[in-house]
Amino acid sequence: MAGFRSRQDELKALGVTLAFIGNGTPAMAEDFKQSLGLEVPVFTDPSRRTYAQLGFKRGPLSVVSPGVLASAVRAWRAGFRQTKTQGDPVQQGGVVVVRAGGAAEYGFASAAAGDHPPLDVVMDAARRAAR
């Protein structure tokens, strides 16, 4: 997800805010920002309430095939929410693109570690949101 830093200049030129949200301490957020040389805000949600509100998965790692991923994305787009799973708590992340004023343009919930949306897909959504 930190790969988004490579697009921070492009997003800035589009007038789109880029921000990261983690779930550690504020000091960890600052360290993350400094170590990656980020020029964008890094927030933290130690309560993980925003993760829960967005339905970002918190459950055991699983092997996920591309087909499962595609269906998960379709399901998400159709408004179906991933139900909370029991077991080893492994928090997943995701990406949300929002238009100015609060209309959702795009969303992606990671199904497993290493499952990220293609940067180009997110950038396309950012360009649409900036129109």
Partner 1 sequence: MKLDLASLGPMTVLDERGQPVAMASLWRERPAVLVWLRHFG
Q: In the structure encoding, which two tokens stand for residue 96, read together?
A: 């949300």
- Site residues (CB under 8 A) for partner 1, limited to 50-109: 50-51, 53-56, 76, 79, 81-82, 90-105, 107, 109
Buried-exposed string 6-31: b where 16+ CB fall within 10 A, e elsewhere: ebeeebeebebebebebbeeeeebee
**Nearer to partner 1 among residue 83 and residue 86 (C-beta):** 83
CA distance 116 to 1: 7
**Nearer to partner 1 among residue 67 and residue 114 (C-beta):** 114
24 near partner 1 (CB under 8 A): yes
What residues contact 6, with CB distance under 8 A and at least 6 apart?
119
CA distance 18 to 122: 11
**Minimum separation from the CB atom of position 9 to partner 1 (A):** 13
Q: Which residues bind partner 1 (CB under 8 A)?
A: 1-2, 4, 11, 14-24, 26, 28-33, 35, 41-46, 49-51, 53-56, 76, 79, 81-82, 90-105, 107, 109-110, 113, 122, 125-126, 129-130
